[in-house]
Structure 1
Amino acid sequence: MVSLKRLTTEDIGAALKLSAAEKWNQTEKDWSFLISSPENICLAAVENGKVIGSATAITYNNEVAWIGMVLVDKDFRGRGISLMLIYKLLEKLKHCRSIKLDATPAGQPVYEKVGFSEEYKILRMIHPTGEFENISTGKNEVTQVSEIDLKDVVDYDHHVFGANRKKLIEFLYNQNRGNSWMIKTGEKIDGFALAREGARFYQLGPVSAISPEIGKVLIRKSLEKLKDKPVVIDVLEEKKELVLWLDKLGFIVQRSFTRMFHHKNANPGSGDKQYLICGPEFG
């Protein structure tokens, strides 16, 4: 019989096996970040003492709860375990103003059944080799993010994403300080880019900016640091010019996601300034 329990740090190894079996990109550090924060709600489905499924929800200051990592061991599928996990998460997230997620094509019909609606599409694009050409940033003043700048980056991300993601921004920054960039005009941030090393690819994102041109400059700067490394990005499909430019750089569309919200989209953020997300597990 399947039961549900809270994921703990002792379950990180089992959780990592679930994501690795699907060839997802999460690392032990990613799982630790999700599970270790007491504000987050991370669940495991267990049968005979074995973790056979997972689902996580990051609670961004109770403004937005972000559902991710909904996984079920292939030997236990078809028994409604994923729905069991989702219903339990929704029950525990009633206090949040907004509940959101990025659904795979297979998962979208399941989420629609429990009250989720489509917001927009996201394309996952990969560059298997990292052999980039013509990515010079030109004369733009791109600077590395410092610890002093983090508050400004968090505030900018809050405006764009629609919720305060201070802990996530700090986690991403500390994972890859050498590839964290921003552009400023005076004291005002015009855009920023963060990246992290994954299990299979370097994930570039989030990238947010006041214009497509600034977004491209930040992406170019990050890619300069990722030459000869496999890279994955999740780009908003509506940013068609950016998608075409990435295609010319050699990125290939691998799959799509659908950003969805539960019942109401109380915290939409500013999608016009968002170019790359930081992965469907984080938003």
Structure 2
Amino acid sequence: MNLINETKLFFKKFDHLDIPALIDLSTSIGWDYDRNEITTMMNSGKIYGHKNEEGKIVSSAAIIEYSSKLASIGMVIVRQDYRGMGLGRKATQKCLDSMLCSKTAMLIATEEGKPLYEKMGFKSIDTVHKFLCDHYEPLVKNSNLHRNIKPIGEEDIPQLIHLDTEAFGDNRKTFLINRLKQSKEAIVVKSPDGKNIGYGMSISGPIHLILGPIVALDSETASVIIDQLARNHHGKLRIDVPSGHEVFMSHLKKCGFLQVSQPPIMIKNGDHLPLRNNTLYGIAAQAFG
């Protein structure tokens, strides 16, 4: 039985001064959110939750609203000592209440969180495939695609946003610009006539180098993007791949990646995600969809 007095908890929208306490909350349950990731989340969306009398953050939930169709919910965390009080549900509900009712809300659930989300009206529609790698083995040989890889420049942004919108199903310009600022490396693949046919970013985290988002017109281009981002990294890697890319996932396994889980994608206020063109090979992170 939880004896903590809920009347001594304070609900609020967090700001940048709360980032150290949010990092501590994440660490308390073994998650690895860092300052850069939470800053991108705040600059792209909103984070709500509870504080106790001592000012310690004991719950959180974040929402990132994209242009017109979709919002993504993530970073739903409740400190162990405060579980069983409905704090995660209240923070998540605040995220839902803050968005335009015409949008579909999506999240990628943990096993522990799935029953809560089902009670709140979310339903599972698909899965993502979480891959980790301790030592990357490059298999992609130099090709014309390698010669057409460039760092993303200001002039590439309009085409990049168009590529991403077709892949993701909604325009997420604000988030992409914030993610670019956060990235360790951000590259674009160009066709011989100068059009962008794919792009990718790597994000440095406390444990893993995150590969994503990855958007490409085909699996070969996606594999070359991964190779460019991963081949000079000495450390752990992570990528979360949407369903439907079996050839690409087979390639990842040959390069040393191991699939460790397949968490469900859940949505509310809709029957399916906005239309996508099957060119999203790596999501940005589970919190961003």
What TM-score do the two structures reach when normalised by structure 2? 0.89
Alignment of 1:7-18 (within 5 A): 7-18=14-25
Deviation string, structure 1 residues 239-281 (Cα, Å, up to 9, x no partner): 2222222111111122222112113057524151111101111
Q: Select which of 161, 169, 179 maps to 1:162.
A: 169
Taking a change above 3 Å as real, the CA distance of residues 244 and 73 of structure 1, as seen in their structure-2 partners, is same
Whether contact under 8 Å (1:136, 1:221) holds in the other structure is no
How far apart are residue 206 of structure 1 and its match?
Answer: 0.9
How far apart are residue 237 of structure 1 and its match?
Answer: 3.5
Taking the aligned partners of 1:97 and 1:3, their CA distance within structure 2 comes to 28
- Is 2:146 aligned against 1:138? no
Taking the aligned partners of 1:202 and 1:170, their CA distance within structure 2 comes to 19
Taking the aligned partners of 2:247 and 2:136, their CA distance within structure 1 comes to 21
Q: Select which of 109, 118, 129 maps to 2:124.
A: 118
Corresponding position of 2:269: 263
Whether contact under 8 Å (1:120, 1:258) holds in the other structure is yes
SS at match of 1:4: strand
Alignment of 1:118-267 (within 5 A): 118-128=124-134, 130-140=135-145, 141-176=148-183, 178-226=185-233, 228-265=234-271
Whether contact under 8 Å (1:103, 1:259) holds in the other structure is yes
How far apart are residue 177 of structure 1 and its match?
Answer: 5.9
Residue identity in the other structure for 1:197: S
Corresponding position of 2:49: 44
Taking the aligned partners of 1:24 and 1:136, their CA distance within structure 2 comes to 35
Corresponding position of 2:81: 75
Q: Select which of 2, 13, 20 maps to 1:6.
A: 13
Residue identity in the other structure for 1:65: A
Whether contact under 8 Å (1:154, 1:166) holds in the other structure is yes
Residue identity in the other structure for 2:46: I
Taking the aligned partners of 1:274 and 1:36, their CA distance within structure 2 comes to 23
Taking the aligned partners of 1:9 and 1:131, their CA distance within structure 2 comes to 35
Taking the aligned partners of 2:30 and 2:246, their CA distance within structure 1 comes to 28
What TM-score do the two structures reach when normalised by structure 1? 0.90
Deviates more, 1:139-148 or 1:49-58: 139-148
Residue identity in the other structure for 1:57: I
Taking the aligned partners of 1:152 and 1:265, their CA distance within structure 2 comes to 29
Taking the aligned partners of 1:266 and 1:237, their CA distance within structure 2 comes to 14
Residue identity in the other structure for 1:6: K
Taking a change above 3 Å as real, the CA distance of residues 192 and 43 of structure 1, as seen in their structure-2 partners, is same
SS at match of 2:200: strand
Q: Select which of 21, 33, 58 maps to 1:26.
A: 33
Structure 1: which 5+ residue stretches go unaligned? Answer: none
Taking the aligned partners of 1:159 and 1:267, their CA distance within structure 2 comes to 12
Corresponding position of 2:3: none
Taking a change above 3 Å as real, the CA distance of residues 263 and 178 of structure 1, as seen in their structure-2 partners, is closer
Whether contact under 8 Å (2:185, 2:201) holds in the other structure is no
Taking the aligned partners of 1:131 and 1:216, their CA distance within structure 2 comes to 13
Corresponding position of 1:93: 99
Deviates more, 1:17-26 or 1:71-80: 17-26
Deviation string, structure 1 residues 81-125 (Cα, Å, up to 9, x no partner): 111111222222243422111112222222122111222111111
How far apart are residue 9 of structure 1 and its match?
Answer: 1.2
Taking a change above 3 Å as real, the CA distance of residues 79 and 63 of structure 1, as seen in their structure-2 partners, is same
Taking a change above 3 Å as real, the CA distance of residues 258 and 267 of structure 1, as seen in their structure-2 partners, is closer
Residue identity in the other structure for 1:90: L
Q: Between Structure 1 and Structure 2, how many residues are aligned?
A: 279
What is the root-mean-square deviation in Å for CA atoms of aligned residues?
2.0
Taking the aligned partners of 2:275 and 2:205, their CA distance within structure 1 comes to 26
Structure 2: which 5+ residue stretches go unaligned? Answer: 1-5
Taking the aligned partners of 2:142 and 2:40, their CA distance within structure 1 comes to 32
